Amino acid sequence: MPPISRDYNTHCRCLQVESRIIPPDNLRSIKLIPEGPHCTETEVIAGLASGEKVCLNPRSSWVKKLIHFVLEKQLNQQGALPKNQA
């Protein structure tokens, strides 16, 4: 049996997934936990501004759009930067 360390996930964390769409402004963080020996499901856990944690469905299109939005939002705001600002 491998030693149980703080970070070694031993089981799935999400019992159910949130179906309501979460507005990006309510979002503090999104954590992706790839499926693995500990859990056969990829899990997506959102941390809300309220401090609440909710599980999202990795297969639903709005979750992917939300993740894409978070990553791309950064770039759009700095569109005006000179190109060499890689």
**Binding residue for a second copy (CB under 8 A) from 4, 7, 20, 84?**
7
Residues 17-46 contacting a second copy, CB under 8 A? 24, 27-36, 41-42, 44
Main-chain dihedrals φ then ψ at residue 33, nearest 5 degrees? -120, 105
Residue 71 touches a second copy, criterion: CB under 8 A:
yes
Minimum CB separation from a second copy for residue 85, in Å?
10
Nearer to a second copy, 8 or 21 (CB): 8
